[in-house]
């Protein structure tokens, strides 16, 4: 009896010949992706040197994702009962089509990568539709890289040859097409589809893997080696593409606006620590010392009384996922898709931590939320942050709020103790989370903070209290007096005030620079934005060099601006004016500081100012679109 049970068990474990053939054919595909990655590496060995095995190991994650979706039709037809006449022919057709698509995309980047320094994405269709030079040069590209065509046909021939050998290895009998046989095949197909979706997502991740996740595993410069072009192409097919624009010639463009910022200081660089605090949903409105309304932030009010404060700071976006690229790298969100999940997430970028690392700083970023949430961890790695700490690294899981992550008070105390052990000088960022919906605070603090008429306000008071405890603790630490603290919010939140729900107030966030060595209040009313933080902090430290970002150092007298993209409208703020542009024409001009309700459209009353600001805005859009498309954020 026991022998019979053992026999039945081993039969269950034994793969059918049809399944063995399927796995062998998929193994061919995996090996093909590996071969093309090695080809890519050898063609650009100088770019990826010194050699590291990690890109090849982690590359399988992205290979499996691409293979799972491209070869899903092949897998489905392979698992159909052999009795179906069309099964074998269509199975081979889908296999060969998958191989052709994979090879074309992989080999294109063997030649094209040198021009973009990133894997090709679906925005290649943008070039075709706009008559860009890429299309015009395509025949020349094919001729110049004739050897890639040879490689294509050689690899295609070998792949089909191995496929046929596997097919002919064993003749699978065509069993009668009974209900049981067909039902069993359907169950196998359902399981295979689920498995393919699992691989396409990249496993049990919080969110499906995207291009930017490659930077979690290797340095950003090696991210293209981890990725494969079928993956980047598929992942961006449904993402919004920005289009190249040419409002001005290159010489005109540079004279009107350039994102290249020259920070020239005659003073020696000051190696102060930099602590960046990003407060979740802390609208300017809630801070009474700034807005003039009832305050929910007594600690911030006290800190503002001894800080450098930019009183008219406008966020570059409306979402947390849009804040990090703007704050760390000076990349605003001028498209409907956040930079982090856009086609351009694999671009090479400059950033505040990356620049400071070159000056000998250690770099870290902390967020009490789940690792992987909103792409924070991946973007931080791409932006040159050496160490990222999320919920996984937090030691006391009892402080989990049941929703997003760790309550702010506990997390900020943990953060202060972490900073004490950092190698100085350091750059470190922390992103709070309790003031995010559902705005839950620890039970022991219920009814302690003013609730106001908005659900968020109690959590704002709690986070402000948590912040006061953080500073009280940090003040006792050795690093404190040699640190500048930069405090802002990721975006604004709910409001019952028409102004703070409108085109201006809905973007107003605090920007506070607190230096324990200079505790005089300085209120500056010039317009500023998230993208100004990157150059401003460097300027504060007397950095001497050149950076690329869509912001300015607000420590200088240079004319400042702010920009955001709101309901498909570009909003361009200067010191006094707000220009609204729909991508084709100017639709409004307002004196936004005095005309808070934006009732008085000056578009016909001040045509000279409209023309002046439209020209500047178009130059910014041209630089932004074309530099993102062409991966030109380093020069």
Of the residues 204, 235, 266, which one is the last residue of a structural domain? 235
In terms of residue numbers, what domain contains 65?
Answer: 2-235
> At 11, is the pLDDT very low, low, confident or very high (cuts 50, 70, 90)?
very low
Residues 209 and 259 in one domain: no
Of the residues 201, 235, 269, which one is the last residue of a structural domain? 235
Residues 319 and 203 in one domain: no
Residue 482 falls inside a structural domain: yes
Q: How far apart are CA 15 and CA 17, in angstroms?
A: 6
Q: Which of 425, 263, 269 is nearest to 353 (CA)?
A: 425
Q: How far apart are CA 43 and CA 115, in angstroms?
A: 13
Residues 254 and 209 in one domain: no
Residues 231 and 371 in one domain: no
> At 442, is the pLDDT very low, low, confident or very high (cuts 50, 70, 90)?
very high
Omega before residue 50 within 30° of 0, cis: yes
CB 613 within 8 Å of CB 589: yes
Given the structure tokens 């057709």, which residue do they identify?
A: 93
Instruction: Look up the CATH number of the domain holding residue 447.
Output: 3.40.720.10
Residue 240 falls inside a structural domain: no
Residues 6+ apart with CB under 8 A from 580: 503, 569, 570, 571, 572, 586, 587, 588, 589, 590
Residues 182 and 281 in one domain: no
Residue 225 has pLDDT above 50, yes or no: yes
Q: Which residue has the higher pLDDT, 566 or 294?
A: 294
In angstroms, the Cα distances linking 334 to 73, 127, 564, 569 are 37, 19, 6, 9
The count of domains in the chain is 2
Residues 577 and 442 in one domain: yes
Residue 418 has pLDDT above 90, yes or no: yes
Determine the pLDDT at residue 566.
83
Q: How far apart are CA 627 and CA 617, in angstroms?
A: 15
Residue 70 falls inside a structural domain: yes
| Stretch among 6-10, 77-81, 338-342, 395-399 having the lowest mean pLDDT | 6-10
Determine the pLDDT at residue 130.
42
Residue 415 falls inside a structural domain: yes
| Helix locations, 336-493, DSSP H | 352-358, 376-382, 408-420, 457-474
Give per-residue pLDDT as tens, 126-171: 544 444 445 555 676 778 889 999 999 999 999 999 999 998 876 6
Give per-residue pLDDT as tens, 335-391: 888 899 888 999 999 999 999 999 999 999 999 999 988 889 999 999 999 999 999
Percent of the chain with pLDDT over 90: 72
Residue 465 falls inside a structural domain: yes
In angstroms, the Cα distances linking 426 to 14, 106, 458 are 57, 40, 33
Give per-residue pLDDT as tens, 170-206: 665 555 556 666 677 788 889 999 999 999 998 887 7
Residues 156 and 267 in one domain: no
Residue 130 falls inside a structural domain: yes
Of the residues 235, 270, 289, which one is the last residue of a structural domain? 235
Residues listed for the chain: 635
Residues 431 and 548 in one domain: yes
Q: How far apart are CA 87 and CA 29, in angstroms?
A: 20
For CA atoms 262, 263, 267, 269, the dihedral sign is: negative
Residue 486 has pLDDT above 90, yes or no: yes
Q: What are phi and psi of 547, to 5 degrees?
A: -130, 160
Residues 599 and 512 in one domain: yes
Determine the pLDDT at residue 633.
94
Residues 527 and 413 in one domain: yes
Residues 231 and 332 in one domain: no
Residue 634 falls inside a structural domain: no
Round the average pLDDT of the chain to a whole number and report it: 90
Residue 13 has pLDDT above 60, yes or no: no
Residues 190 and 257 in one domain: no
Residue 471 has pLDDT above 80, yes or no: yes
Give per-residue pLDDT as tens, 109-129: 998 887 677 888 886 665 444
Q: How far apart are CA 534 and CA 514, in angstroms?
A: 16
Specify which residues 276 forms β-bridges with: 429, 486
Residue 295 falls inside a structural domain: yes
């Amino acid at each position: 009896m026991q022998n019979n049970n053992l026999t039945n068990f081993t039969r269950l474990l034994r793969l059918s010949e049809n399944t063995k053939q399927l796995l062998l054919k998929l193994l061919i595909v995996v090996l093909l992706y590996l071969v093309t990655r090695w080809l890519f590496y050898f063609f650009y060995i100088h770019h990826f040197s010194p050699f590291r095995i990690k890109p090849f190991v982690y590359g399988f994650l992205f290979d499996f994702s691409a293979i799972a979706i491209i070869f899903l039709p092949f897998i489905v037809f392979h698992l159909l009962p052999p009795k179906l006449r069309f099964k074998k022919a269509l199975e081979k057709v889908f296999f060969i089509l998958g191989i052709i698509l994979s090879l074309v995309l992989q080999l294109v980047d063997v030649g094209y990568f040198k021009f973009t320094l990133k894997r090709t994405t679906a925005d290649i269709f943008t070039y075709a539709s706009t008559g860009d030079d890429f299309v015009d040069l395509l025949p020349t590209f094919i001729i110049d890289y004739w050897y890639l065509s040879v490689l294509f046909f050689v690899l295609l021939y070998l792949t089909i040859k191995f496929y046929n050998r596997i097919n002919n290895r064993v003749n699978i009998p065509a069993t009668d097409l009974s209900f049981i046989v067909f039902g069993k095949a359907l169950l196998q197909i359902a399981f295979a589809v689920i498995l393919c979706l699992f691989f396409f997502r990249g496993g049990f991740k919080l969110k499906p893997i995207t291009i930017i996740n490659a930077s979690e595993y290797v340095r950003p410069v090696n991210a293209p080696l981890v990725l494969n072009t079928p993956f980047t192409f598929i992942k961006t097919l449904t993402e919004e593409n920005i289009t190249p624009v040419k409002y001005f010639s290159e010489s005109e463009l540079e004279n009107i606006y350039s994102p290249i910022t020259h920070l020239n200081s005659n003073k020696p660089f000051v190696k102060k620590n930099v602590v960046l605090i990003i407060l979740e949903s802390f609208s300017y409105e809630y801070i009474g010392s700034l807005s003039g309304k009832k305050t929910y932030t007594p600690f911030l009010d006290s800190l503002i009384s001894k800080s450098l404060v930019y009183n008219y700071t406008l966020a570059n976006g409306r979402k947390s996922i849009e804040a990090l690229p703007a704050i760390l790298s000076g990349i605003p969100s001028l498209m409907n898709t956040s930079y982090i999940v856009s086609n351009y997430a694999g671009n090479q970028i400059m950033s505040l931590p990356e620049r400071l690392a070159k000056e000998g700083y250690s770099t870290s970023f902390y967020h009490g939320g789940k690792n992987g949430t909103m792409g924070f961890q991946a973007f931080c790695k791409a932006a040159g942050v050496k160490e990222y700490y999320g919920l996984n690294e937090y030691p006391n899981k009892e402080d989990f709020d049941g929703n997003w992550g760790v309550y702010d008070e506990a997390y900020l105390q943990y953060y202060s103790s972490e900073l004490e052990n950092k190698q100085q000088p350091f750059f470190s960022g922390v992103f709070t989370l309790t003031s995010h919906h559902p705005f839950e605070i620890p039970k022991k603090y219920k009814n302690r903070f003013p609730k106001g008429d908005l659900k968020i306000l109690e959590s704002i008071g709690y986070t402000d209290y948590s912040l006061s405890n953080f500073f009280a603790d940090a003040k006792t630490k050795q690093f404190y007096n040699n640190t500048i603290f930069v405090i802002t919010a990721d975006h604004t939140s709910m409001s019952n005030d028409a102004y703070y729900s409108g085109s201006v107030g809905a973007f107003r966030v605090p920007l506070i620079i607190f230096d324990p060595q200079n505790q005089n209040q300085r209120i500056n009313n010039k317009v500023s934005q998230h993208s100004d933080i990157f150059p401003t902090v460097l300027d504060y430290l007397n950095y001497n060099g050149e950076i690329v970002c869509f912001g300015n150092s607000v420590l200088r007298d240079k004319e400042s601006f702010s920009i955001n993209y709101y309901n498909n409208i570009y909003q361009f703020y200067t010191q006094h004016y707000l220009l609204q542009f729909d991508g084709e024409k100017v639709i409004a001009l307002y004196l936004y500081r005095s005309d808070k309700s934006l009732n008085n459209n000056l578009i016909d009353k001040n045509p000279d100012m409209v023309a002046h600001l439209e020209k500047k805005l178009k130059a910014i859009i041209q630089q932004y679109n074309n530099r993102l498309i062409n991966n030109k954020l380093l020069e």
